[in-house]
Amino acid sequence: PPAEPLTERRQAGGVRTIVLNNPRRRNALSLPMLQSLRRDLLHDVKSRELRVIVIAAEGPVFCSGHDLKELSSEDDVKHHSQVFELCAEVMTLIQKLPVPVIAKVNGLATAAGCQLVASCDIAVASDKSQFATPGVNIGLFCSTPAVALGRSLPRKVALEMLFTGEPLSAHEALMHGLISRVVPEDKLEEETTKISQKICESSKSVLALGKATFYRQITQDLDTAYKITTKVMVDNLTLRDGQEGIEAFVQKRKPVWSH
């Protein structure tokens, strides 16, 4: 029989759900899996109907990171480079997309799988989820996951994860800022839907401007960050939806977004 797709994409009510669909391989980020994920992220991304992307997974492991079988030959440097370069492209793409991206985590997220969670704008996890960067234990330090982890977690927490490979529980991950929310497993779908629907109530163009600006200013010094965001606030007011929102507030009515 034909192989099932590595990712499944479905969309309804402005929300696109991308499901990592290779539980037998622990949803490893093989080269084909990364290509499939990139394709689903980019599909018709400028459509007015698309407002939020949710990344979820089949099976008890959200994502185990890279497929080590692809990395077992020390001679194939070209292939190894291709895997890590595509992975970096997908992680940075998530933050460049014009819509918020939510990780919906139910289970274990390790190495590049933990990197995927850290790269998303929002992460909602069940209380049974765990997060780890155990590459050090097999002689492959999680250097690329460390980029996302080091930008999401306090430095000493990130380094303890990287140096020991020991996992964080969902509640520890929440406490340190790796994820946004922890809920019981049976409430995960409901909570993710609630956040997605709330985002869908806002203007896509305003959110796109806000998301791009957030990531642009966050790496700057304080004065530069304020210069950037001051100009963007002025630009925001030139958007049709920027004026519509203010007029609706003054007139005490619901805004009608053009997106």
In-domain check, residue 259: no
In-domain check, residue 159: yes
Percent pLDDT > 90 in the chain is 94
| The pLDDT value given to residue 89 | 98
Residues 163, 48, single domain; the answer is yes
Domain of 189, CATH number, reads 3.90.226.10
Residues 113, 163, single domain; the answer is yes
In-domain check, residue 2: no
Tens digits of residue pLDDT in 108-130? 999 999 999 999 999 999 999 99
> For residues 52 and 121, what is the distance between their CA atoms, to the nearest angstrom?
11
The predicted model scores a pTM of 0.95
> For residues 143 and 221, what is the distance between their CA atoms, to the nearest angstrom?
25
In-domain check, residue 61: yes
Residues 125, 218, single domain; the answer is no
Tens digits of residue pLDDT in 162-201? 999 999 999 999 999 999 999 999 999 999 999 999 999 9
Residues 134, 237, single domain; the answer is no
Question: Please, what is the average pLDDT of the chain?
Answer: 96
| The pLDDT value given to residue 56 | 98
Expressed as residue numbers, the domain containing 218 is 202-251
> For residues 123 and 181, what is the distance between their CA atoms, to the nearest angstrom?
7
In-domain check, residue 1: no
- Distance between first and last Cα of the chain: 43
Q: Are strands 108-110 and 130-132 parallel, antiparallel or unpaired?
A: parallel
